[in-house]
Chain A
Amino acid sequence: MTSIAAEGPRVAAPRGSHRRGWWRRNWVSLAFLAPGIIWLLAIVVYPTIATIRFSVYDETATKFVGLHNFASVFSTDAILTAFKNNIIWVLVFPFFVTFIGLMVAVLTERIRWATAFKTIIVMPIVFSTTASALVWRTIFDLDPHIGVVNAIEQTVSDWFATPGAYPLNSSIGQSAASLASFNATGGPGGTLVTKSLVHPGGTVMMGLTRVSAVTLQTLGATTPVAPKKMAGGIAGLVWNDFSPLQTSNTTTIVSDEHGLPNLRLSLVSSTGSSVGSTVTNSSGNFSFTHVAQGSYHVEILGSNFQTAFVGTFWLGSQSVTPTSGLDQTAQSLLSVPLIDLAMIISYIWIWAGFAMVLIGAGLASLNREVLEAAEIDGATEWQTLRRVTIPMLAPVLTVVFVTMVINVLKVFDIILNMAPGSSQGPATTLALSIYNDGFTGGIHSGLASAIAVILFLLVVPAMLWNLKKIKG
């Protein structure tokens, strides 16, 4: 201290005045910068460093644990799921949102109502992700009276596969075979076939059971009538072989039993081919006329037991899993939760406007003459787009893509709000894990900080890329 004071007047006098001059010239400018710098140092820079420190300490930040938290990150199932989901998001979302943004931006140039169109596409950006997630949660709802997607699926599904009169609930183990009672047995494809063979001029009876009274009433089932022989044809009956009065009688018709109406039947020859089809009437009776000589089975078609539309549980924990030629580990790695797809679609709805605006601005700055020359020289529009427009737009497309990658690395709000409680686990991401591990039930700094550090490291390449662009 003393030596500095002693040296002070000798050496520092000219420098001091120089420094004072520097201060005098620049202090206002530095004062302008100070609030921003102090704010950034206190709330962004210092906390980032502190998080790195927390990541090598235990949950209460008191004991040094080395890389233990990072080891936990890679051995905790919930966090590995988060990693997997983040990878799905990063692989799927940026590509599609950029692609859709490009398509829409290119096409918008050809319409007169471009301004209105752009407004419609951009609008979702200003909604909170929370609100958007809630909207999409109803859109993907399982109940076709609430969710549009399942309502459309139901309409299409009913169109192609009309539900049968006797829908089975396979989820509680019901099958067509379990309905067989008399002279009936389960056949291939959820059918029921007669045990006995029948010949033209003969009759056949099939007894089923466990058909609910409500179903019978709805279908208007009446008392069964024993089939009468007919020349050159086969007459028969399918009835609900259960009498509340004579519960043990399982072979003959009782007066309080019911025929089974509206069953679609097929007559199957000994070679296994269907030679005729018919439908039972209200008493369960049916007939096949003009049957060639031979022996036949009667088959109740599987479609009679076709379940009514159940809907896709978009927001549940189901996954789309590739099955062919893969072992179990590969399957679980490659399986994509349906809810991820639903959320990515919703997120595209939110962000496509961003991509469109950026790419649209890029398009507007392209050299028109090059594009026109390509078109006049006979290039198709697709060729022009692929060979001329996209290469020229490459810088903008990269910016959009990278911005979207950074965005989905941090994806959080949409999962918290769109996934129902039971699906939060399968749908979780790194950002959500930080919140759940760090902030639910008090502050726990260790594991959450380790995940945050990893998240930070993942955006570092983007940071460097940004800096390179600005400098170059």
Chain B
Amino acid sequence: MTVVSKVASVRERRVVALAKRLRVSKAAVNVILALVAVFWLVPTISLLVISLRPESLFGASGWWTVFTAPSQLTWGNYATIFSQGFASGGVLDSLVTSLEITVPVTILVAMISSLAAYSLVFGSWRGRDIIFLVIVGLMVVPLQVALIPVVQLYREMGTLFGLNPYGTIPGVIIFHVAFGLPFGIFLMRNFLTGIPRDLLEAGRIEGAGEWKIFYRIVLPLALPAIASLAIFQFIWVWNDLLVALVFLGGNVHTPLTIFLYDQTRSLAANYWIVSTGAVVSIFVPLIVFFSFQRYFVRGVLAGAVK
């Protein structure tokens, strides 16, 4: 009895000590994480502030002086970069080009991946697992490996059919879709395996064909996964620089990443203009992120192979 009560009291004391320690450490944790959060916000804030400060102040004083002199803020840089309107080479033209690339890629990847995943999950032919494994293997293939041959392929398409996608927006789209598919099929297949086959059988008994089952039963159920995939794909393609540089570099219409890249590469890097362009370029993905944060995080989680 005494031993038991002794053990109990020791345990009790430990619990009290633990609670005390946790209270102290909780304050410390709050302070540490607040500092981390500030550190993480500084770059974004600096970008916004630089874009809102006039050119003349850029090299003269630090952007942080704005906190003591808020009168520095002006929309001048935005007026400057929007003044060109939709003329080619301007930031708005690039914004449109980015959308012209990103939206079709997102739709195509979502559609083709869903169809392929449906086939891989609910098909009854043999060899589906091996095909899926090959596709998973393709997930990590660096896209650098494919660039040169695809450029050659595009040119050959030009000589054979008179349709050379090199240097055109469809050329970029075709490439992006291909490298979006392995992840897309992987994510969709993982989701679809969770859908009970009974649901499909019920559809078949009622006489629905494969297409109708896919379209009416599976697709609505898979919408959360499609949303994750679409958001992930959208942000991925929106932020691509390399593929656009290879297939669209020197083109009249270029996406925002190339717009920014060109601005910094020009002899006098106009950081205040570049920063303004950068704010425009992060605006769209930020809206997508804040509207669909939950789906985005799910996409991130699915992206790492489990």
Given the known inter-chain contacts A125-B300, A399-B306, please indicate yes or no for A110 contacting B29, CB distance below 8 A: yes
Contact B62 A151 (CB under 8 A): yes
Q: Tally chain B residues at the interface, Cβ within 8 Å.
A: 104
CA distance A127 to B46 in the complex (A): 14
Q: Which residues of B contact A136 (CB under 8 A)?
A: 43
Q: How far is the CA of A39 from the CA of B138 in the complex (A)?
A: 12
Q: Is B214 an interface residue (CB 8 A)?
A: yes
Structural contact, B239 and A135, CB atoms closer than 8 A: no
> B42 touching A148 by the CB < 8 A rule?
yes
Docked-complex contact A358 and B301, CB < 8 angstroms: yes
Query: Given the complex of chains A and B, what is the CA–CA distance between A136 and B47 in angstroms?
Result: 9
Complex Cα spacing A62 to B53, Å: 55
Q: In the bound complex, how far is the Cα of B256 from the Cα of A125, in angstroms?
A: 17
* B239 shortest CB reach to chain A, Å: 4
Instruction: Give B208-256 interface residues, CB cut-off 8 Å to A.
Output: 209-211, 214, 235, 238-242, 245-246, 249, 256
Encoded as 1 (CB less than 8 Å from any A CB) or 0, chain B from 117 to 147 comes to: 0111011110000010101111111101111
* B41 within 8 A of partner (CB): yes
Q: Which residues of A contact B43 (CB under 8 A)?
A: 124, 132, 135-136, 139, 349
A48/B145 in contact, CB under 8 A:
yes
- Once bound together, how far apart are the Cα atoms of A54 and B148, in whole Å? 9
B87 at the interface (CB under 8 A from A): no
Q: List the B side residues contacting A354 at CB < 8 Å.
A: 300
Mark out the residues of chain A between 109 and 166 whose CB falls within 8 Å of any chain B CB in the assembled complex: 110-111, 116-117, 119-132, 134-139, 143-146, 148, 151
Q: Are A44 and B146 in contact, with the CB atoms below 8 A?
A: yes
- Residues A39 and B177 in contact in the complex (CB < 8 Å), given A107-B33, A123-B44, A399-B305: yes
- Also in contact, A120 and B37, with CB within 8 A (given A128-B238, A131-B282, A135-B44): yes
Determine whether the beta carbon of A128 is less than 8 Å from that of B241. yes
Give the residues from 423 to 472 in chain A that come closer than 8 angstroms, CB to CB, to chain B.
431, 434-435, 438-439, 443, 445, 448-449, 452-453, 455-456, 459, 462-463, 466-467, 469-471
Question: Quick check: is A254 within 8 A (CB to CB) of the other chain?
Answer: no
In the complex, whether B15 has a CB less than 8 A from a CB of chain A is yes
Complex CA–CA separation, A108 to B305 (angstroms): 24
A466, B185: Cβ atoms under 8 Å?
no
Q: By the criterion CB–CB under 8 Å, are A36 and B185 in contact?
A: yes
> 10 interchain pairs (CB within 8 A)?
A36-B185, A43-B153, A47-B145, A51-B145, A128-B238, A130-B241, A135-B46, A361-B301, A435-B246, A452-B142
Query: Which residues of B approach A to under 8 Å, CB–CB?
Result: 11, 14-15, 18, 21, 25-26, 29-30, 32-33, 36-37, 40-44, 46-47, 50, 58-62, 64, 112-113, 115-116, 118-120, 122-125, 131, 133, 135-142, 144-153, 174-175, 177-179, 181-182, 185, 209-211, 214, 235, 238-242, 245-246, 249, 256-257, 260-261, 264-265, 271, 274-275, 278, 281-282, 285-286, 288-289, 293, 296-297, 300-301, 303-306
